[in-house]
C-alpha cells in the first residue's frame, strides 16, 4: 500500500485494488482564517484527481472543500458514505455532481472489489457538524486507520478487525477555545496549557488502545495567515498554545515510549507493508525541517503568498445589506418554538453583539429581538459582516463557518453550555428536530402523545422528528411529514422500512382494562 499525504487530514491511498482520496483540503476555510499547515500548494492535484473511491469524513470545511471537489475530482469516483442519520453529506456531494455512493453501516466492514472498508460514525449533536467519522482500509495485506479528528467510542469494534500497520490521527487543536474567550490573561493561559496537554494525551490514549505499528500525526494544526489571527500560530513551542505542530507531538510520543511515530508533510509518500513504513518526502530533508525549526519565517512567506486570497474573501462580505434583527427573528423564532430541550438547556439570553445591529436570542421566551441593554447570560461579539454573510448564504451550521474562524469574542456567566453552540449547528427544522430527538432519547422520561385514539411515542423512529408537530393521520396511517415515513397505528408497523417500528397503544382498550379492574372510570 502507498499513501501520499495531501495535507492536513488529506490522504491519497493507492492499492492493487484501487485508490482512495480522503478529505482533500486546499482552499481557505472559515472566512479565510484557516489554511493547511504545512502548505500543500505544490501537491500535484492531477495525480490525485481520479480516485476509484472518495471519502469525506464529515462536512467541516477543512475536510470538505467544495471548490476543490468541484474543480479537480472526477465525478466518476465512488463515494464511501458514513452511516449518518441525516443525509446532509450525500446531498452536498450530489450537488457537486457525484452520483455513485457506497453506503456503510457503523463499524461494519464492507467488501468492495477486493478492498474492505470499515467506517466508524459518531452522530451526537456535539460530533462535528452533526457527525464525524474515521475510515479503516484493508487491502488484504495492509490495514490502516484514518481517524482524522473523529473520536470513536467503541475501540473494541476497531481492534477486533486485527492489527493495524498505520494509524493517522489528530493531536492538535481545532476549536476556538479558550483563545476567543474574554478571560483574564493568566486564566486563559492556564486553560490553554491544560487543553494542549489534554488533546495530546487523548491522542496518545487512542494510539495505545489501537496499537498500530506506525503513527502519523495529521488533521492539524491549521495555520492562521490573516494579520488579525497570525498570533494564534505556535511559533516557539509555547506550552500555552493549543496548536502544537507535528514535531511537538512526535517528541511527545517518544517521551512516552512510542517510537513508531512518522512525520509526513504534503507530498510525502509512504510505502507501507511487511512491517515497514518507508517515507520519501517531495523536498529535501533540510527544507522539511526548516518548516518547523524556522516556522515564523515560513509562515510569514506563506502569508504574503496568500494575502490576495484573504483580502478578496474579506472584501466580498456584505456590509449593511442585511437587516440582522428582522432576518434572525424570521429564521430563528420558528426553530426556537420547536427546540424544547435546547431552550431548557440554555435557559437564558444570548447576546449576538454586532455593534449597531446587536440582537438577543432569548431561549426562555423563545424570542429574537433587538438588544436594548438587557442582561445576558452568553455574549458573542461578532463583526456584523460575518453575521450578514451567514444570513445571506443561509448557513444552517454557523460552527462550520463563523465559530471555527475564531473571528469572534465570547463571554459567559457560568460554566460552558454545549446547548448554546449546538443550537448554531441546527439552524433548520430537520437539524433541530434531529438534535431534539437525540436529547430526548438520552432522557429517561417516556414521551407519549395522544393521536387518533392511540397513545404513540412522540419521536419518529426514523430521525427523531417530533410527531406531535410533524405527524398527520389518514385512514389509520400516521405520516411523519418531515421525511415522509409512515406507520400503521393499529400495529406500529412501519410501511416505509422493514427495520423500524412505532410504539402505539389504543387508548380505549387501556380505559376498558382500568374500568374492569376498578369498577370506575376516570
Provide CB contacts within 8 A for 130, sequence distance 6+: 84, 86, 88, 123, 397, 425, 426, 431, 434, 435
For 263-304, give the DSSP string. ---TT-EEEEETTEEEEE-SS-HHHHHHHHHTHHHHHHHHHH
Is the domain covering 446-518 a CATH 2.102.10.10 domain?
yes
- Whole-angstrom distance, CA of residue 372 vs CA of residue 51: 55
Cell 441593554, residue? Answer: 373
Task: Check residue 510 and give its pLDDT.
Answer: 42
- Where does CATH 3.60.15.10 sit in the chain? 2-312
Give the three-state DSSP class for 149. Answer: coil
Phi first, then psi, for residue 181 (nearest 5°) are -80, 145
Task: Check residue 445 and give its pLDDT.
Answer: 53
SS (H, E, C) 58-101: CCCCCCCCHHHHHHHCCCCCEEEECCCCCCHHHHHHHHCCCCEE
Cell 376498558, residue? Answer: 512
Nearest CA among 386, 337, 396, 387 for reference residue 359 = 387
Is the domain covering 324-429 a CATH 3.30.1050.10 domain?
yes
For 370-403, give the DSSP string. E--S---SEEEEE-HHHHHHHHHTT-S-STTTTG
* pLDDT of the chain, 522 residues: tens digit per residue: 999 999 999 999 999 999 999 999 999 999 999 999 999 999 999 999 999 999 999 999 999 999 999 999 999 999 999 999 999 999 999 999 999 999 999 999 999 999 999 999 998 888 888 899 999 999 999 999 999 999 998 899 999 999 999 999 999 999 999 999 999 999 999 999 999 999 999 999 999 999 999 999 999 999 999 999 999 999 999 999 999 999 999 999 999 999 999 999 999 999 999 999 999 999 999 999 999 999 999 999 999 999 999 999 999 999 999 999 999 999 999 999 999 999 989 999 999 999 999 999 999 999 999 999 999 999 999 999 999 999 999 999 999 999 999 999 999 998 889 999 999 999 999 999 999 988 887 765 557 889 999 989 888 887 777 888 778 999 999 999 877 889 999 999 999 877 778 888 898 654 434 434 444 333
Residue 45: its H or E element: helix 45-48
Is the domain covering 2-312 a CATH 3.60.15.10 domain?
yes
Cell 498500530, residue? Answer: 212
- Whole-angstrom distance, CA of residue 299 vs CA of residue 155: 37
- Whole-angstrom distance, CA of residue 58 vs CA of residue 389: 22
- Whole-angstrom distance, CA of residue 298 vs CA of residue 308: 17
Task: Check residue 514 and give its pLDDT.
Answer: 40
pTM of the model: 0.87
User: What long-range pairs does 297-303 form, CB within 8 A, spacing at least 24?
Assistant: 298/38, 299/37, 299/223, 299/225, 299/230, 299/233, 299/235, 302/35, 302/39, 302/223, 302/225, 303/225, 303/227, 303/230
Sheet of 448-451, strands arranged across: 448-451, 454-457, 504-506
Q: What is the DSSP letter of 404?
A: G
Which residues is 119 bridged to in the sheet?
Answer: 135
- Where does CATH 2.102.10.10 sit in the chain? 446-518
Task: Check residue 125 and give its pLDDT.
Answer: 86
Nearest CA among 253, 254, 235, 255 for reference residue 245 = 235
What are 344's three cell numbers?
Answer: 431548557
- Whole-angstrom distance, CA of residue 179 vs CA of residue 302: 23
What are 509's three cell numbers?
Answer: 382498550
Cell 467503541, residue? Answer: 154
Amino acid at each position: 500500500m502507498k499513501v501520499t499525504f495531501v495535507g492536513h487530514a488529506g490522504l491519497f491511498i493507492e492499492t492493487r485494488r484501487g485508490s482512495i482520496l480522503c478529505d482533500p483540503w486546499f482552499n481557505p476555510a472559515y472566512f479565510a482564517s484557516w489554511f493547511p499547515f504545512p502548505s500543500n500548494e505544490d501537491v500535484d492535484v492531477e495525480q490525485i484527481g481520479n480516485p476509484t473511491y472518495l471519502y469525506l469524513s464529515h462536512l467541516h470545511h477543512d475536510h470538505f472543500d467544495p471548490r476543490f471537489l468541484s474543480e479537480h475530482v472526477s465525478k466518476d469516483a465512488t463515494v464511501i458514505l458514513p452511516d449518518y442519520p441525516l443525509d446532509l453529506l450525500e446531498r452536498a456531494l450530489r450537488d457537486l455532481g457525484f452520483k455513485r455512493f457506497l453506503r456503510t453501516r457503523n463499524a461494519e466492514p464492507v467488501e468492495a472489489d477486493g478492498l474492505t472498508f470499515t467506517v466508524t460514525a459518531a452522530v451526537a449533536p456535539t460530533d462535528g457538524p452533526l457527525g464525524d467519522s474515521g475510515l479503516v482500509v484493508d487491502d488484504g495485506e495492509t490495514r490502516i486507520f484514518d481517524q482524522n479528528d473523529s473520536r470513536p467510542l467503541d475501540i473494541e469494534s476497531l481492534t477486533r478487525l486485527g492489527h493495524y500497520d498505520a494509524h493517522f490521527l489528530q493531536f492538535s487543536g481545532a476549536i476556538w477555545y479558550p483563545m476567543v474567550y474574554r478571560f483574564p490573561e493568566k486564566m486563559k493561559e492556564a486553560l490553554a496549557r491544560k487543553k494542549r496537554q489534554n488533546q495530546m494525551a487523548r491522542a496518545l490514549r487512542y494510539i495505545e488502545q489501537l496499537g498500530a505499528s506506525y503513527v502519523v500525526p495529521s488533521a492539524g494544526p491549521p495555520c492562521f495567515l490573516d494579520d488579525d489571527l497570525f498570533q494564534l500560530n505556535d511559533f516557539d513551542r509555547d506550552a500555552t498554545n493549543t496548536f502544537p505542530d507535528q514535531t511537538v507531538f512526535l517528541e511527545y510520543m517518544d517521551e512516552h515510549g512510542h517510537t513508531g511515530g512518522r512525520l509526513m508533510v504534503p507530498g510525502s509518500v509512504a510505502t507501507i507493508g511487511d512491517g515497514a513504513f518507508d517515507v520519501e518526502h517531495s523536498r529535501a530533508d533540510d527544507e522539511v525541517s526548516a518548516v518547523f525549526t524556522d516556522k515564523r519565517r515560513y509562515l510569514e512567506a506563506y502569508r504574503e503568498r496568500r494575502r490576495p486570497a484573504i483580502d478578496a474573501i474579506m472584501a466580498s462580505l456584505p456590509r449593511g445589506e442585511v437587516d440582522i434583527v428582522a432576518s434572525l427573528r424570521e429564521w430563528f423564532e420558528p426553530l426556537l418554538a420547536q427546540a424544547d430541550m435546547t431552550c431548557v438547556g440554555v435557559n437564558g439570553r444570548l447576546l449576538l453583539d454586532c455593534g449597531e445591529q446587536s440582537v438577543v436570542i432569548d431561549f426562555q421566551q423563545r424570542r429574537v429581538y433587538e438588544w436594548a441593554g438587557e442582561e445576558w447570560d452568553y455574549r458573542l461579539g461578532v463583526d456584523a459582516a460575518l453575521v450578514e454573510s451567514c444570513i445571506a448564504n443561509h448557513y444552517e451550521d454557523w460552527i462550520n463557518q463563523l465559530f471555527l474562524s475564531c473571528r469572534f469574542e465570547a463571554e459567559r456567566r457560568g460554566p460552558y453550555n454545549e446547548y448554546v453552540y449546538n443550537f448554531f449547528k441546527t439552524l433548520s427544522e430537520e437539524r433541530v428536530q434531529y438534535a431534539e430527538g437525540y436529547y430526548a432519547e438520552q432522557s429517561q422520561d417516556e414521551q407519549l402523545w395522544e393521536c387518533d385514539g392511540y397513545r404513540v411515542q412522540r419521536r419518529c423512529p426514523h430521525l427523531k422528528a417530533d410527531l406531535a408537530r410533524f405527524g398527520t393521520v389518514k385512514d389509520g396511517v400516521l405520516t411523519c411529514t418531515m421525511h415522509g415515513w409512515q406507520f400503521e397505528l393499529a400495529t406500529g408497523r412501519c410501511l416505509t422500512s422493514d427495520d423500524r417500528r412505532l410504539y402505539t397503544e389504543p387508548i380505549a382498550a387501556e380505559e376498558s382494562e382500568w374500568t374492569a379492574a376498578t369498577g370506575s372510570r376516570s
